[in-house]
Each structure stands twice: as C-alpha cells, then as structure tokens.
Structure 1
C-alpha cells in the first residue's frame, strides 16, 4: 500500500472471505486498525450448513459461528451496508452520509440470491436461501409443510431437497436444465445424480422452466412451461446468485458478474491497471486463474473463500508489483442422500468427460474433465468423485497438466 493516512484497512463483507483476510492481516503483522463492515447483524458464520444440518436440527445457529485462531482486535460495523466507494479519496460511503477513510480495502461483499422473474415477493410460502434469517424462515415453512417444491437443480436446490426428504416431506425439483447439477458436473454425471434423487423419492421436472405462480390459503401452485403444474405447501427458489456490487456501480470499476481483478486479486481500475491498496476476495471477485487460462471467472466455494481471502491479504500488503498470482485448485463437496460428491479443479471448462476410476452405476467413481491443450493432447481441468475421496486426491496435483492416458472406452460427452 502506498499511503498511511489513517492506518486503517477496511473489509467490506463479514463472511468467510472477509474474515479470512482479516485474520491473515494480523498473522502478517498488520498492527493498524481493521474495520469489518457487514450488512447482516451477526458476527461471521458458516453458511454451508444452512441448507443441510441447520434444517435437519443437527446444528443450531450458535454452532455456525466462525472462529479465528488469531486475535483480530477489529472494529465491527455490523448491520451496516456499504453504499459507495471513492477510489481517489480512499473513502467508503456508509449510511447517514458517513465517509470512512482507509489505506487498504478488501472487497468481500459476497453474493445475494438471484430472483426468478415472476416469483412472488414477500410471500410466507415462497423462499430463497442465502442468510441465517432465510434458513430460519425455511425451517418454519418446512415444519408446516407436507410437500415442498424446489426450483433450481444446483447444489443448493439439491441439498434442500435431500434435507426435506430427511424430514419425510414430499419433494419436487424443477429445473430448466436437462439434468441436475448440469453446470457443475455436465450431463452424464448430472444424470447419475438425478437417478440418485429419484431413488430416494424426489420427483423431477427437468428441462422445463416456470411460467407462473398462484397462491391461496392452502398452498402454492407452480405452473410450468410444458403445461404441467406442481402443487406444494411451500416452495424454495434456488436459481443461482448475483454478486453484491450495486455499491460499486458509480466507481468506474468493471463489475460485470463480479469485481474484475488482476491475477494477484488486486482490483482492476477504469484504466485497466491493478489498483494498489484495493483487493477483492470470495464470491464477489472475478479474476483469471492462470493455472487454467487468462479468462476472469468467479468461484463460489467455501474453500476458495478462505484461500482467496488469505491471498488477498498478502497481496494487499505486498502491492501489485510484488504479489504472486492466485492460482488455486478450486474444491468443493456436497452430501446428497448419503453419497459424498467432491470436486477439484474446474470441471465446467472441460470439453470431454472420462471415467478415471470406478463405476457410475455403483455411484463410486472418479470422473476426469479434459480439454485439448496447445498440442491437442487432453489437459485435465477438473475431477469429480462420488464416494471416492482417496482416489480423487491422486488426481489433485495433475489438474492443469496433460493427462497422460485416457481410457477411451470410458469417454463421455
């Protein structure tokens, strides 16, 4: 960082990425002020159990609190929404006209649930899940329900469906894509997950969108584009997220699908150069992971939030010229109907899917996702495992490198 006017680093966002950045700053010896600014009234908590253990009763809200192993000695501004940023003056605009000066800034404002057009607003029967308050409302809705409709076949939707089945509810998943987890796993493995859900009593309406809604005193009806209707006591909409960048719209920054960053996680200014003293981390950040290519992308995973928050803290103190690029192997996991799904790398970049080990029919396998390298040889860009954690670890260090041999009889589109 180039200035020392306030001796303050501000962190906008009190989720996992922001907390990880703050903890790393203290580990690195930063002795100035750290101001944590978060819109929610709660101290940082783990969002991962919101769609699972919290709704099954296995975890309670106090169990979700995130802890640090280093004393933060931070100033907390909870229940405070950042309203704007003046890059030249190094000031944040906060409610009430407050202008908070800073030397360094970590943008970790995260994402919000994407609204499906036409979905009823302010309904006590239709919910979206992003916050602890959302989870509490959904828990209360499920307690009154016998049948729940889940709109969205991504990880959140699938995990909520699993949780609802654990609570002995009838469940229907609706998704416009032809298979569950289509973007994350592709059609072949997505079909395997779809069969898993069907085997556990989940009804699926796939490849069809929602055309309308109606509500009455006894429930909600979801009308589908193919003319079918789904009647339920409650509905949960999980159709993705949108980066929380509205407070940055007038800064000149590129906030197209997140805050554009250089490979180091420094925010890219309107002139196309990395800004000294301002970094971004977590779900809101879009950066080129040079392990794969130079295309900026966002990664919305728990482990990435931790690793990127810590790297952003390093980069903030080192400056754009000296900081290393952030080149992780993204990883995530999910438990669905007793099957552990794990991913490493970026399977969505693959043009081919290959069964590297095991048998999809037995739901114990590892699939590799490849794309042609400069010489045409397949490069491993991701791997997904079903109940095969040890085998998946064998491929972790090979991601981003050519795959020496592919069993062509196992190749799938």
Structure 2
C-alpha cells in the first residue's frame, strides 16, 4: 500500500512543503486539506494590489513548481487530530489515516474585544475573500474608512485606501507606526509619510466603545476623539490556527510546539511549518517563538518536508535568518534577523542595527536593498549555530485525545492539482523512512475547482 502524507493547510507553507516532498523523491500519496475554496495564493498582495484593484483574484494565485501530483481537498478543513492513531478527521466525519503529516494551517485574524465583528461593515484581512469583501465595501460606500492597527497590514491597508482617493483614519495603540519592528527612526519616517499623504492618524489611543448606526459606525477613542466610519478594518494581529488541535494532547499554546528540527513535540511523524509553528531557532538564543513572515513559510515548509522524510533521528536543525519587507507610498522597508530581540541600536553601513548581548541580531533599512544584501551575511557570522545544541529529539508522550465531536458538515469532492515544471534531480544517496523511489508519470489535464478553472 502506498504511503500517505497529509498536508494540513493550503497556503504557501503547505504547497512549498508538498513540492519539496516530490523533489526529494517521495512517491506516495499527498493529500492537502485546505479550509479555503481557492487554490494557494500570494498573501502579501491582499493588502495592496487586491485592495487597489491592480490585481484580480486570479492574478494572486501561486504558481506550482515540480510534479506535485497531489489530491486537493478545498473547503475541507481539518477538524480533529489523534496523533497516536495517526488520524485526522474532516467535515462529513471522514477519518483520514496518514503515515506522515505536515501542519501548515497558518494564522487567523485576531479578534478584537468589543468590536462589532458581525456587522457587514466591519472586516478583518486574512484571506483572499476578506480582501475582495473589503474592496467591495470601499467601492460601495462613501464615508471614512477606519483601519485599526499600525502593524504591517494596517499601514499597507491605509496606504492602499489612500491610493484609491478615500478618506482614511489609522487608529493605533502605540505611539508610532511599526516602531517596535523597524526601529524608532524608520517608524517615524513611515508615520510622517502617512500624515503627508492625508491619513488621519490617531496614535497612543485605545477604543472605549463602538456605536452602530444606519449610516456608519461610531468609534469613540480614549482621548475623546470620535470617528464615524462607513467601513472598518481590524488589523490588530493574528492568532495561530490551532483550534482543530484542541484535545489532541499537543502543546498548542501560541502555536504548535516543535523541536529545532520542525518535529512536533509529543508526536511521531508529525512536523509543522510557517506561522503556526513555534520552535527554538538555535541561531537566535533558542527561545521558542513563532515567525510570521512570508519567507519563513517558504523555507520552513521545505525544511519541514525534508525533516519529515529523513526522520527525527537524522533531521537537521532549522536555523533561518528571517527576512521581511513592506512597501508604502513608494518607500520600501526591508529587514533581516530578529530586530525584536534587540536591546540597543547602532548604525550598520547606514542601516539600523539591533544589538543583543553584544551581537547583531537584526538590521532594517529604508530604500537600501543593496545594503541589506551586503550586511545580511554578518547576521549569519555573528549568530553561528553550535554543533552540540540540544534539539529535543525525544518527543514527550501526547495526552489522550478527547472524543471527536460529531457535528460535521458535508465534505466536497477532492480534486487534483498539478504543476508545470520539472523538479530538480533527487540525490541517489537519500533513503529516508517515508521516501519511495519515483516512477515516471504523465501529467493529467487541469480540472475544475468549484466552478472555476484550476491552474498550475
């Protein structure tokens, strides 16, 4: 019987991990469970090109590389996991057995206490459908658009909405935009750019209460200001998508706890990657943390697939140097490392350098792509990985899982998605536990997904 690896999550991390499985020669069945109705798409464009209308939803779809040959189950979220039985349940009550699993469920938009979330004029931004709904509301309404939150998503949204010529209020609890992420100097420049482009900025404030009215929503702030908005977007962060893991016995406090090789603590043949994974990066002090960056989904997805195939005893530690960027009003901010760890700052060739315990742990630059490329190797040099670091290779036994809930919804028909390019060659020296030697296969034609044409 062919082995099966189940990838839970149809986003960037999930699809890149599935690609890596095929590149390494895994010839068993790959089943991808996705809570969404869309095939994988780029998320960075949701706060930019989708909002402005420069891209259509089809433009956002990811291209698949390699001979993926996966069974896609769209609109089919995982509902429950029993890691001891190596089983996952999906809508309709179906139990799916697996030989290996990759958890790549990402994050959900964080809830905001007191906000009238069920009002159709109040939105969050996490999915492609969220972005389309926000754009529709903006086009159909005439009043102020209020964005709550001054992180990357909130700032990019405010910029995109101003690009459409709409009046925008950006309401932020912190005293400056992005200050805790990019440093005070660059945060100040970003803040000034928003003001110069007409954003009505309220910083250092909280929201006392909301008032829903037929013509809009009143937002009463702690400093006495009141904004009346026809559209509200809550951009106050994200929470790991782990509800389906409750009762599994795994540690899911702030994400899925992994060892330093992507293997989930408390289970066998189970790895996690991307925003949902919490692991000790031995390059940066080994404290377990999550990293919510686009590139971590790519690199983490590939690393998780590799380490699943070779097995826990032969897995390599995952020790990336994170990189991130944002673009607002034509200004591009780029960073590398973990600036949040810094206790002091210094100048690094015109970049803001973040220092912790005498080491450079992060760099951020404004309109400095060349310098970022030049100085990033210094992060690797100053944050070397010791060869004898503990990686928690022995999993703790999982607690007995809870009884599976019986309330289910119908499961859609599975569909297949295939890629367009030839994968790189596979090293003949690799013989991991879950890997099978590949045979040649012909590519089937594209199929229809939910009434729309699936594309590779």
How many Å separate the matches in 2 of 1:351 and 1:337? 30
CA contact (8 A) 2:83 2:268 kept: no
Residue in structure 2 matched with residue 390 of structure 1 by the alignment: 370
Match of 1:194 among 186, 191, 194: 191
Checking the alignment, whether the CA contact within 8 Å between 1:379 and 1:401 is kept in structure 2 is no
* Correspondence for 2:74: 78
2:245 paired with 1:248: yes
* Residue in structure 1 matching 2:129, options 133, 141, 164: 133
Given that residues 380 and 400 in structure 1 are in contact (C-alpha distance below 8 angstroms), is that contact kept between their aligned partners in structure 2?
no
Q: 1:178 aligns with which of 149, 163, 175?
A: 175
Task: Pick closer, same or farther for the CA change 1:344–1:352 going to 2, 3 Å.
Answer: same
Q: Within the alignment, does 1:106 sit opposite 2:102 as a pair?
A: yes
Deviation (angstroms), 1:400: 5.0
Q: Corresponding residue for 1:20?
A: 16
Aligned equivalent of 1:45: 41
Does 2:3 correspond to 1:11? no
Q: Report if the CA contact (8 A) 2:337-2:361 is conserved.
A: yes
1:225 aligns with 2:222: yes
In the TM superposition, what whole-angstrom CA distance separates every residue of 1:202-226 from its partner, at most 9, and x where no partner exists? 1211111111111222211111112
How many residues are paired up? 382
Q: What's the offset of the Cα at 1:47?
A: 1.1
8 Å contact from structure 1 (residues 186, 348) kept in 2: no
Name the residue aligned to 1:257.
Answer: 254
User: What are the superposed Cα offsets for residues 112-160 of structure 1, whole Å, 9 maximum, x if unpaired?
Assistant: 0001101112212111111111111100111123421110000000000
User: What's the counterpart of residue 340 of structure 1?
Assistant: 332
In the alignment, structure 1 residue 160 sits paired with structure 2 residue 187:
no
Partner of 2:269: 277
Is 1:59 matched with 2:55? yes
The TM-score with structure 1 as length reference comes to: 0.90
Answer whether contact 1:292 1:381 (CA < 8 A) is retained.
yes
Cα shift at 1:357: 3.6
Alpha-carbon distance in 2 for matches of 1:157, 1:145:
20
Q: 1:116–1:288: structure 2 CA closer, same or farther, 3 Å change rule? A: same
Paired position in structure 2 for 1:351: 343
The answer to whether 1:299 aligns with 2:312 is no
Query: Which of 369, 380, 384 lines up with 2:354 in the alignment?
Result: 369
Cα distance in 2, alignment partners of residues 86 and 235 from structure 1: 39
The structure where strand makes up a greater share of residues is 1
Q: CA deviation at 1:6?
A: 5.5
For 2:306, the equivalent position in structure 1 comes to: 314
Structure with greater contact order relative to length (CA < 8 Å, sep ≥ 6)? 2
Aligned equivalents of 1:390, 1:188: Cα separation in 2: 19
Instruction: Render the CA deviation track for 1:294-334: whole Å, top value 9, x for unaligned.
Output: 11111111111000000000000011111111111101111
Which moves more between the two structures, 288-297 or 177-186?
177-186
2: distance between equivalents of 1:352 and 1:173?
28
User: Contact between 1:108 and 1:282, CA under 8 Å: does it hold in 2?
Assistant: yes
Q: CA RMSD of the aligned region, Å?
A: 1.4
CA deviation digits over 1:77-120, x for unaligned, max 9? 11011111111111001122211000000000111000110111
* Rounded Cα–Cα distance in structure 1 between residues aligned with 2:296 and 2:215: 42
By how many angstroms is 1:189 displaced?
A: 2.9
Residue segments in structure 2 that go unaligned for 5+ positions in a row: 384-456
Distance 1:77 1:392 in 2: 40
2:283 is paired with a residue whose SS is coil
The residue matched to 2:155 in structure 1 has which SS?
Answer: helix
SS in 2 for 1:34: strand
User: What's the CA shift for 1:14?
Assistant: 0.4
* Partner residue in 1 for 2:280: 288
| C-alpha contact (below 8 Å) 2:186/2:366 kept by paired residues | no
SS at match of 2:297: helix
Mind listing any 5+ residue stretches in structure 1 that lack a counterpart? 270-274, 359-365, 373-377, 404-413
1:332 & 1:262 partners in 2: Cα distance?
24
What is the distance in 2 between the residues matched to 1:251 and 1:123? 34
